[in-house]
Amino acid sequence: MKSDFLLAITQLSAEKNLPKDVVLNAVEAALVSAYKKDSFSSNQNIAVKINPNTGAVEVWVEKTVVEKPKDREIEISLREAKKTNSDIKVGEAIMIESTPANAGRIAAQTAKQVILQRLHEAEHSAIFEEYADKEGEVVSGVVQRFEAGQAFVELGRTEAILPASEQVHTERYRVGQHLKVVLLQVARTTKGPRVIVSRSHPELLRRLFELEVPEVYNGTVEIKSIAREAGFRSKIAVAAKQEGIDPVGCCVGLRGIRIQNIVSELNGEKIDVVMWSPDPATFIANALSPAHIIGVQLNNEEQVAAVVVPDKQLSLAIGKEGQNARLAAKLTGWRIDIKSASTAEAEKIEEAGAPEAKAEEEIEKEAAVEELPEEILAQLEPVEVVEEPAEEEVKEEAEGEPVAAEILMPPQIKSEEPSEEGQPKLRFAEDILTPRRTKEKEKPAKSKKKKKGARTKETGEESGKGRKGRRDYTEEEEEYF
């Protein structure tokens, strides 16, 4: 028949959900502390053993074998030691049973406190070992209370903390609400294991797919990467490890029942399942779904992808506040630059026209020269460039015969009008192009007394305020025009 003490230990192990051996070891350690304070000295080495069948308590004291003991608490004679062990020799240590008749009140209180402390330590150690192996897994819990923005979730054997940084901002939690959370961290503290859980971590999405999609759980369909903005939208890239399997169809399920269960658990968060591809251009095009992609250009050195989309789907590719492009960049690991088809075409035209711009300017200059009248172009003569002689040559020539200096003249135009000597008269291009200014300079000084509206004989121009808006040209001007 079991004693009350053993029944109490059995009940305690059931309440704390601890193995019976763990509880017995904790009680034995507690009794050692109690007996040392009550019946034994502090320098004695004692051990307590509890019989698991009867519940009897035995206290054993370690003593050293000597010929003549001087301190009975730590020494024993050889003759007495041989009663316990016939092979014992002098100088060896032996355990002698010394169970006290009754433990005092102080010892009982100490034993109680130590037993509770040891049980708490054993319970904390068991909880830590249980949840330490579950890091990254999904567990179910019930919201218990809120403190300083943190939510405390009861997981069964322990209470987990849901920090404000790991909460979904679009969700509102209430006491008694059932949640599925992912275990992020389990750490030992003086107050027991500290368990941190999350509702916004991308790992939660992976574990939910493993729970809902058997192909993902057994490894037939592999989740390559996940990009998530908790509460709004997520993208997940999947690939099949066996031929003939549609990874996207497996994750979506018949009529979308599998994906709907995950969306319901995440309170309506939108999830895009895309096909993974080893080709970065194809993968980027798939990641930007549901937008249609015209082309993708990759810059492998800078990890930048230039994506061209139709003009009507530019906003769809970028998404609300850039969400679709941002998630695609996280999913693929590339920086994505999205352009419309018209913008890309305009840039191509500008790049193609850049080298031709200089050629066009040169053509325009040549055209401006060609626009001059043929008569002027025909009469233009090339300018002779006379090199100046070196100083030594000038000195030699100065000593010898006189040298006629050649004067550089501006371009001249031959006029058909003969000069007095019978040679063609030379005229400067400046005189022809700006006849009015040059003639005005050659005008003789006019008399101050002139009537308004009078006309000069030399130029034929009106003076004063006579006939407005009209002037007569000289013979040379008329000949030019």
Q: Whole-structure pTM over 0.75, yes or no? A: no
pLDDT at position 36: 77
Domain span including residue 54: 4-128
Residue 145 clears pLDDT 60, i.e. is over it:
yes
Please tell me whether residues 15 and 103 are part of one structural domain: yes
Check: CB of residue 379 under 8 Å from CB of residue 413: yes
Closest CA to 379 of 273, 258, 480: 480
Please tell me whether residues 317 and 298 are part of one structural domain: yes
Question: Residue 83 is part of a domain; what is its CATH number?
Answer: 3.30.1480.10
Using CA atoms, how far apart are residues 168 and 186, in angstroms rounded to an integer? 21
Using CA atoms, how far apart are residues 118 and 121, in angstroms rounded to an integer? 5
Please tell me whether residues 171 and 150 are part of one structural domain: yes
Banded pLDDT at 3 (limits 50, 70, 90): low
Residue 282's H or E segment, with its range, is: helix 280-287
- Report if residue 425 sits inside a domain: no
Give the model confidence (pLDDT) of 59-95 as tens digits: 888 888 888 877 777 788 888 888 777 778 888 888 8
Banded pLDDT at 371 (limits 50, 70, 90): low
Question: Residue 206 is part of a domain; what is its CATH number?
Answer: 2.40.50.140
- Report if residue 307 sits inside a domain: yes
Of 6-10, 63-67, 192-196, 267-271, least confident by mean pLDDT is 6-10
DSSP state of 148: T
- Report if residue 310 sits inside a domain: yes
Report how many helices (DSSP H) and strands (DSSP E) the chain contains, helices first.
17, 17
Please tell me whether residues 257 and 134 are part of one structural domain: yes
Higher pLDDT residue, 360 or 79? 79
Please tell me whether residues 56 and 107 are part of one structural domain: yes
pLDDT at position 1: 39
Share of the chain above pLDDT 90, in %: 30
Domains identified in the chain, total number:
3
Please tell me whether residues 239 and 310 are part of one structural domain: no
Check: CB of residue 375 under 8 Å from CB of residue 414: no
Using CA atoms, how far apart are residues 93 and 478, in angstroms rounded to an integer? 144
Higher pLDDT residue, 149 or 55? 149
Residue 26's H or E segment, with its range, is: helix 20-38
- Report if residue 394 sits inside a domain: no
Region 303-314: mean pLDDT is: 91
**37 φ, ψ (degrees, to nearest 5):** -80, -20
- Report if residue 477 sits inside a domain: no
Please tell me whether residues 328 and 224 are part of one structural domain: no
Tokens of 327: 């998630």
Give the model confidence (pLDDT) of 167-221 as tens digits: 998 889 999 999 999 999 998 888 888 999 999 999 999 999 999 999 999 989 9
What dihedral do alpha carbons 117, 118, 123, 127 form, nearest 10°?
A: 100
Q: What is the 3-state secondary structure (H, E, C) of 76-131?
A: EEHHHHHHHCCCCCCCCEEEEECCCCCCCHHHHHHHHHHHHHHHHHHHHHHHHHHH
Neighbour-count burial for 19-55, b at 16+ CB within 10 Å, e otherwise: eeebbbebbbbbbbbbbbebbbeeeeebebbbeeeeb
pLDDT at position 474: 60
Domain boundary among 78, 108, 128: 128
Please tell me whether residues 121 and 134 are part of one structural domain: no
Please tell me whether residues 252 and 326 are part of one structural domain: no
CA distances for 379 relative to 4, 281, 418, 429, 433, angstroms: 136, 66, 15, 9, 13
Banded pLDDT at 328 (limits 50, 70, 90): very high
Residues forming beta bridges with residue 180, ordered by sequence position: 140
84 HSE (CA, 13 A, CB side): 17
Share of the chain above pLDDT 70, in %: 69
Check: CB of residue 428 under 8 Å from CB of residue 410: yes
Alpha helices in 333-460 (DSSP H): 341-370, 374-379, 391-399, 429-433, 435-442
Question: Residue 305 is part of a domain; what is its CATH number?
Answer: 3.30.300.20
Collapse the DSSP code of 29 into the 3-class scheme (helix H, G, I; strand E, B; otherwise coil) and give the result: helix
Residue type, position 142, single letter: V
Using CA atoms, how far apart are residues 190 and 279, in angstroms rounded to an integer? 52
Please tell me whether residues 118 and 144 are part of one structural domain: no
Collapse the DSSP code of 171 into the 3-class scheme (helix H, G, I; strand E, B; otherwise coil) and give the result: coil
Please tell me whether residues 124 and 134 are part of one structural domain: no
Banded pLDDT at 468 (limits 50, 70, 90): very low
Check: CB of residue 158 under 8 Å from CB of residue 128: no
Please tell me whether residues 285 and 229 are part of one structural domain: no
pLDDT at position 150: 92
Give the model confidence (pLDDT) of 217-250 as tens digits: 998 999 999 999 998 999 999 999 888 899 999 9
Banded pLDDT at 306 (limits 50, 70, 90): very high
